[in-house]
Amino acid sequence: MNWDDLRLLLAVARRGSFLRAGEALGMAASTLSRRITQLEAETGAALVERGADGTRLTARGAALVQAAQDFEAALAPPPQSPGLSGRVRVTAGEGFIGPVTDTAAEFTAAHPGCTVDFTVTPDLVKLSQGAADIAIRTLHLGEPSLIYQRLPDVAFGLFARPELATREDLTPQALPMIGLLPPQDQLPHMKAARAAGFGTVRIRVSSFAAQLAAVQRGHGAAVLPRVLAGGLAEPFPDLRLPGLEVFLATRPQALRQPQIRAFLEMLKSRMTAGG
């Protein structure tokens, strides 16, 4: 279950029918009804009673609607007040250093009374236990105590320095690759590159930052996020690689603090815009 599912259920509860809720959402009533049926299957209980005169919530449906209203209130962007103060704790992997630090700089300039603590780690920090306020994750673990918000996928390509990428005799098998050590080498884009023949790995590193640095120094090519590949070239531009899902995760309790809600909205806006 995610916020999109709860948003649909909330619309049905507020409008009293699939037709009116679908009109408000810009969705066909039949599609909306099917989505609610799928949600009922996931929760293992009926949520909506369908009748000729409209819809009514079951007890389980009413409980979920209350949760949806709580989430909606928590997700509403706060007024941009210059009086915000307090700490925001963020955790993410090194691939997200750019957008997080850019957001932190913009946020603290707008709100001098706030500070941002950014922990860079590949580990899944336990948000539910209060170890951080906001996390950027590439996995949806389905914890019921957290709110997940889907962001645009990270797009990948195969990149090298221009002098290597433009060699006329280059083939996938001859291209020296900078790989990643397990378990990162099992990510979908890495596996897809190997399946396409780019498997001549000469150097393996334990971090994305080291991988990027090796490519920038001309030691080989690598599968890299497109947003980090400035100044590099694609030796095989027709190669298509799968993206990586990205989520913002936080606790409803954390969003009761206005500085955390404001930072989350700013970070989400930046990452949605591709910054």
Q: What is the pLDDT along the chain (275 residues), one digit of tens a residue?
A: 577 788 899 889 888 899 988 888 888 999 999 999 999 998 899 999 998 888 999 999 888 888 888 777 777 665 555 579 999 999 998 889 999 999 999 999 999 999 999 999 878 788 877 789 999 998 888 777 889 999 999 999 999 999 999 998 899 999 999 999 998 899 899 999 999 999 899 899 998 889 999 999 999 999 999 988 989 999 999 999 999 999 999 988 898 899 999 999 999 999 988 75
Which residues face 116 on adjacent strands?
Answer: 88
pLDDT computed for residue 114 by the predictor: 96
Contact yes or no for 92/270 (Cβ under 8 A): no
Structure tokens at 98: 């750019």
Q: Cβ atoms within 10 A of the Cβ of 82, count?
A: 9
pLDDT computed for residue 87 by the predictor: 95
Nearest to 37 by CA among 15, 16, 59, 12: 12
| One-letter amino acid of 206 | S
Nearest to 87 by CA among 124, 116, 45: 116
Q: Which residues contact 64 (CB under 8 A, 6 or more apart)?
A: 6, 9, 43, 47
Helices (H), the chain: 3-15, 18-25, 29-43, 59-75, 97-110, 162-165, 188-195, 208-216, 258-272
Chain centroid, CA 167 distance in Å: 36
CA distance 17 to 1: 21
pLDDT computed for residue 262 by the predictor: 96
Q: Cβ atoms within 10 A of the Cβ of 180, count?
A: 20
Domains of the chain, earliest start first: 3-75 (1.10.10.10), 85-152+245-272 (3.40.190.10), 156-241 (3.40.190.10)
Q: What is the pLDDT of residues 162-218, one digit of tens each?
A: 999 999 889 999 999 999 999 889 989 999 999 999 989 989 999 888 999 999 999
pLDDT computed for residue 275 by the predictor: 59
Structure tokens at 77: 């962007």
Q: What is the CA radius of gyration of the chain?
A: 23
| One-letter amino acid of 104 | A
CA distance 72 to 112: 28
Contact yes or no for 180/211 (Cβ under 8 A): yes
- By three-state DSSP, how is residue 193 classified? helix
Torsion of CA 19, 24, 28, 31, to 10 degrees: -90
Whether the model clears a pTM of 0.85, i.e. scores above it, the answer is: no
- By three-state DSSP, how is residue 203 classified? strand
Nearest to 134 by CA among 207, 184, 83, 75: 75
pLDDT computed for residue 200 by the predictor: 92
Structure tokens at 228: 């980090």
